[in-house]
Structures are given as structure tokens and as C-alpha cells.
Chain A
């Protein structure tokens, strides 16, 4: 039984890491209805910039705010030069633009910092917590737990920000109806700038945690693909949805790997989340927390 819990907890904690990436997507989608394909590239760029700054000789406590500034600037530039010229264009054009942006960011990142795989050290070891090991015989990684805590704090802060403040409300309003938002005096561009800035900051947190786990390398952009089933489960415009979706995906993929894997020859962790997402689409296309699609006829 303790083995089951070990797998479950490990899955839930790695799910939090997926949630972090999904969160970046949700933020942008909520505010501008754009599916930002470049979120994965932004995660990669953030991790690479941080490691690069360390190599140049900056201390970690200087490198983090410096990277944050860089990420916010990347977000703002994207809003200004990619999104704004495409206002009122069809969704597909916006999606294509963010796909283009993905390649651009990846290229620039490697141009600036080179294409070598780098290690990233956050000072928390990926080792079992001794106390839990002794008392319950459950192996829980110290690193995973820290990552989960960071994510929990970030998510709580964002959720409060969106529901309790004027800017949060303005942001939801912009997401619903541009024209009406302008008519009540909400400055559209200021709101978008804030959203892209915040998305850049979230990419930084995700980049640090994923970079520390997998090494800072090009493959980091692919964590974005794992965010897709999370978004389908949780709903594209829900912050709590991104969290719950991440937890479900993390837990089920690990449990499936351990308990179903042996029957089909293993390796199902890679594709199980997508099958789950597919099944979910059939039952509840708007996601667990998505806004229910109400049509009046």
C-alpha cells in the first residue's frame, strides 16, 4: 500500500510541474483568447537566460530578478510587435503567429547562449525526505515537494489577483468582449501588456524548476506539449482548472505506468495523458472548470 501512495504522491507532485506550464497558457488565453504556442519556448528561454547569467558571473539572487526583467520585456515586446498588429484577425492567424514566435525565441535563445545542455542547481537536492521514509516508508523527493510549494503559492496569488482586484476584473472583461471593455474605459493595451508580463514571470518559475529537473536544453520546449492534456482536462480559461488538470494528469500517468504498463509492455507514461484528454473531450469538451457553453436558441 505504501508503494501505491508513493506512486500517487510522486505523480501529484510532478503534476504540479505540468500545471505551472499550463498556467502560462491559461493567463494569455483568458485575456486575449490567444493560444500562445510559444509558452514552451518562453520557459526554455527563461531557464537558459538564468543559467547564462550565472555563467557570466552573476549571483543567483541577482540573476533571478534580472531574468524576470528579461522575461517581462520579452512578454511586452511580443504583445507590442506580434499581438497588437493582429488585433481582430482570425484565431488561426494568431495561432500561426505564436508558432512562428516559438521558432524565433528558440533561435534567439541559442544564438545568445549556445546550444549546449547545461545543469541548473537550485540548492534543493532531488532526494527522498528522510522523515517520511522512516515513518511511512514512502519515498517523496524533497525537490518535488519544493516545486509543488512554489507552484501553490504562485497559483494562490494569481487566483486572488484575478478575482479581487480591479486589474484582474478588467482582464476578465477584456477576455469576454473587447468593444464593451473599451466602452467602459478599460485600456486594452495596458491590460495585455500586464498579462504578457505576468506570463513571462510564470515562464521563469516553470523554466527554473523544469531546468533544474531535466537540465537546461532545447527539449525543455516540449514540456509545453504536456500542458495540452492538462488544459483540455482543466479548461482553457481556468486557473484552478490548470492546477487540478495537472494533478490528475500527473497522478494518472504515473499510476497507469506502474499498474497498467506491465500488461502492454511499459512506456505508456508518454502517451497516456493524451488518451485521457481525448476521452475527456468526448464527455466534457469545455473542461472541468471551463465556462459552460450556453447557447440560447
Chain B
């Protein structure tokens, strides 16, 4: 197996601060994400991890700080633009389209790749039909990759939790993102499901070269699969580095285990 080449800085966050009214969610946080790496964000509950992901994804706009993506400073970001620029994500509380089948859910991930106009779709013209077929083929690849062929036609609301998480990952992958944000992809899973999910995340990273930013609570998982780890606590950055460096960091240990008074 060839070694992944970690590339240049893809995303750089500088002095990000975000507050909701008087509540400071993030204070002066800076870190970067390099191309093709697996970057983890960890921290105790309420540390601001999901807020951080929402800033990258354009759900929240930070009051201060700059975000540079692919060498360009991003202004006026919103969720739609983030998706259009190649950032896909999954949510902490699964956000699938519950009434739709697995296949339809994943097909929505192809939305930005499909260009046929309203009218040609309305009358099911040749180009619209061909486009539908092509994208369906791509979706089938993703379905094979994540081993969910058997539930293709099942409405997602009926699936067990672990599989729903996998379908959500499939929908994100269908967009062929350059950066994938995963908000607690293994939360609430049993050991086998976690192992499967780890394998998929690493496979995505290796085979497609997708840059991955993930939030995860399971320290074993984080230390195993990430290249670099950012540690947040009470909205501040208290550690950043390779897993072994972070593990040895005094501030990190204190945040997780508490400090003797």
C-alpha cells in the first residue's frame, strides 16, 4: 500500500471567535487542515466542537477571525455555498430525509452535480434522463463501497441507528467532496459497528484522498485514525498536534481528568 501524501494547507482558520448573545462558544481559535489528512477535533462536552464544524460548514458565521479555504479568504459563507465548494458533512443527530429510501437519500447528494433544467426534467427529456442514469451509476459505486446494497430500497426511518449513520456518510460521499466533516460518526455504536466505520473512514481517506475533519469522543478511535488532533475546552484551544503529542499534553490531561484542587 502506498503512503498517503499529506499536502498543502487546504483550510486555515485564524483567530476565530463565535458567540451567541453573551455566551462565548469559541474564543480566538486557530488551526489548519492539510490536504489528504485526517484531522480530529476532540474535547469534553460543550467544548465547542460542533460549533467549530458549523463554522467551517457555513452554518454559523464567526464574529471575528478569517477562514481561508483553498487559498481564498471566505466571506459571506452559507451552508449552500460550502456544499458547492466541495465541503460535505454528516450530523451529530442523524439528519437524513426520513421519508425517502436509502437510494433517494444518497441521490440527493448528487444534486450539485446535476444540471438538467426544470423543463427538461418536467418532460423527462433525453439529457435529463441520461444525467439521471450517470449519477445513479456513481451512487451505486458509493453503495458498493459502503456495503449497503441490501438496504438500497428501504426507507431510512426503518433502519437501525448504525446503518443510518452509514447512509448519511454515503450521502456525503456521493457529492465527491474534497473535504468531509464528520460529527461524531461513531457515537452510539457498538464495537463492531465502530470498527466498520473506522475502516470506511480510512478507506475514503486512502482511496479518494478526501480530507477528513472529524469530531469523536472515543479516544481509542481518535488516536488510531487521525494524523493530527485539535483539543478544545470551554471554547478555547488547549492542544494541537500528533496523537502522541496530544496524549502527553498536560493541559489536555487536566481537561479530561480534572485538576486536583
Q: Which residues of A contact B (CB under 8 A)?
A: 157, 160-161, 164-170, 172-173, 175-177, 179-188, 194, 237, 291, 294
What residues on B are CB-neighbors of A161 within 8 Å?
A: 121-122
Instruction: List, sorted by A's number, 6 A–B pairs whose CB atoms are closer than 8 Å.
Output: A172-B97, A182-B80, A184-B175, A185-B111, A185-B175, A186-B80
Nearest A-chain residue to B158, judged by Cβ:
A294
Cα–Cα distance between A237 and B158 once the two chains are bound (Å): 19
B95 touches A179 (CB 8 A): yes
Closest chain-A Cβ to B138's Cβ sits at a distance in Å of 13
Q: Are A179 and B157 in contact (CB under 8 A)?
A: no
Residues in B with CB closer than 8 Å to A170 are 108, 111
A21 to chain B, nearest CB (A): 22
Cβ–Cβ < 8 Å partners of B78 in chain A: 182
**Additional 16 contacts, C-beta under 8 A, given A166-B116, A172-B97:** A166-B111, A167-B118, A167-B121, A168-B121, A169-B111, A170-B108, A173-B108, A177-B98, A180-B96, A183-B57, A183-B91, A184-B171, A185-B84, A185-B175, A194-B118, A294-B157
What B residues does A184 contact at CB under 8 A? 83, 88, 108-109, 111-112, 171-172, 175
**Which B residues from 139 to 171 make CB contacts under 8 A with A?**
157-158, 171
Contact with A along B180-218 (1 / 0, CB 8 A): 000000000000000000000000000000000000000
Contact, CB under 8 Å: A182 / B79? yes
Contacts A164-B132, A172-B97, A176-B98 known; A185 to B80 CB distance under 8 Å? yes
Are A185's CB and B83's CB within 8 A? yes
Assess A185 versus B121: contact at CB under 8 Å? Given A169-B104, A294-B158. Answer: no
Cross-chain contact B83 with A183 (CB below 8 angstroms): yes
Residues of A within 8 A of B97 (CB): 172-173, 176-177, 180-181
Other-chain residue from B95, B96, B128 in contact with A165 (beta carbon distance below 8 A)? B128
- B100 touching A172 by the CB < 8 A rule? yes
Please indicate the chain A residues that have their CB under 8 angstroms from the CB of B91 in the complex: 179-180, 183
Complex-state Cα separation, A154 to B132, whole angstroms: 23
Which A residue's beta carbon lies closest to that of B117? A167
- Complex Cα gap A183–B59 (Å): 9
> Which 5 A-B pairs have CB atoms at the shortest separation, nearest pair first?
A185-B83, A180-B95, A176-B97, A182-B79, A185-B112
Nearest-neighbour CB distance to chain A for B204, whole angstroms, equals 17
Interface residues of B (CB under 8 A from A): 57, 59, 78-80, 82-84, 88-89, 91, 95-100, 104-105, 107-112, 114, 116, 118, 121-122, 124, 128, 131-132, 157-158, 171-172, 175
Rounded to whole angstroms, the CA-CA distance of A169 and B118 in the bound complex is 13
A169 to B101, CA, bound (A): 11
B103 to chain A: closest residue by CB: A169
Chain A proximity of B40: nearest CB distance (Å): 20
CB distance from A296 to the nearest CB of B (A): 9
Q: With A167-B118, A186-B108, A294-B158 known to touch, is A179 a contact of B99 (CB < 8 Å)?
A: no
Decide: A181 near B118, CB < 8 A? Known: A166-B132, A176-B99.
Answer: no
- State in angstroms the CA–CA spacing of A185 and B105 once bound together: 13
Q: Do A183 and B89 touch across chains, with their CB atoms under 8 A apart?
A: yes
The residue in chain A whose Cβ has the minimal distance to the Cβ of B131 is A166
Distance to closest chain A CB from B171 (angstroms): 6
The residue in A169, A186, A237, A291 that gathers the most chain B C-beta atoms within 10 A of its C-beta is A169
Query: Closest CB-CB distance, B237 to chain A, in whole Å?
Result: 25
Residue of A175, A180, A194 with most partner-chain B CB within 10 A:
A180
A165 and B84 contact, CB distance less than 8 A = no
Q: How far, in Å, is A107 (CB) from chain B's closest CB?
A: 32
Which residues of B lie under 8 Å from residue A183 when comparing CB positions? 57, 79, 82-83, 88-89, 91, 95
CA gap between A80 and B153 in the complex, in Å: 36
Contact A187 to B121, CB < 8 A, known contacts A166-B132, A179-B95: no
Question: Do A169 and B108 contact each other (CB < 8 Å), given the known contacts A161-B121, A177-B97?
Answer: yes
B residues in contact with A187, CB < 8 Å: 80
Question: Quick one: which of A165, A182, A237 contacts B121, CB cutoff 8 A?
Answer: A165
